[in-house]
Amino acid sequence: MYCDEALDAVEAVAAGEVTPDGRLADHYATCPDCSTALASARELERLLHARPAPKPSTQFTARTMTRVRRARWKSEQVLDVGFNVAIAVVVLAVAAGVWMLVDRTGVTSVSSEALDMIGRSLVAFAQRVAPSLPVYAGATALLVTALGIWWWAERDASF
């Protein structure tokens, strides 16, 4: 015997997975090379078992949860944008459909008078509203601020 055989078994013997039988045990006891190999394999086994297990920082869970929330928020944002785009496409398609229908039925030929009337109404509405513009501007600013606060709060919201 059989150094090759003994050396092949060294790792398993050192790990305690194999108990050397009489022949193998005798060889480890008498062959200096195999005996040294077994000693170093046992030492390696001891060191590997004693290898410290690094611990994560105390903030690990909190940081991970923040990353998870951010990722979730981003994916929800993508969904929101996708939904809004889909709605816009549908609205445009419906508008285009209505326009084509109106065009084919010849209603457009009488619509110039209607457009003039709508234009005049809009001008009259603008003249009536002009004195209250600062109030409307203030209301718009308030609305934008509220939307901003909502967006900020939603960004760090939980699941």
Partner 1 sequence: MDHVTDAAGERALVERCRSGDEGAFQELVDRYKDLVFALIARTVQDRSQAEDFAQEVFLRVHRGLPYFRGEARLSTWIYRIVANVCLQDQSRAKRTVSLDAVDRDGSRSFTPSTRDRQFGDLELRDRLEKAIARLPPNYRLLIAAHYLQGVQYEDLAEALDLPLGTVKTQLHRAKQQLRRLLDTELK
* Interface contacts to partner 1, rule CB under 8 A: 10-12, 17, 36-37, 39-41, 43-45, 47-51, 53-57, 60-61, 63-65, 67-68, 71-72, 158-159
**CA-to-CA separations, 40 to 37, 49, 52, 78, 151, in angstroms, rounded:** 5, 14, 20, 57, 62
CB of 12 to partner 1, least distance (A): 7
Which of 23/67 has CB closer to partner 1? 67
CB of 43 to partner 1, least distance (A): 5
Three-class SS of residue 155? Answer: helix
Where do we find the tokens 């496409």? 89
Q: Which residues of 35-50 are buried (b: 16+ CB within 10 A; e: fewer)?
A: eebbeebeeeeeeeee
CB of 32 to partner 1, least distance (A): 13
Which of 6/37 has CB closer to partner 1? 37
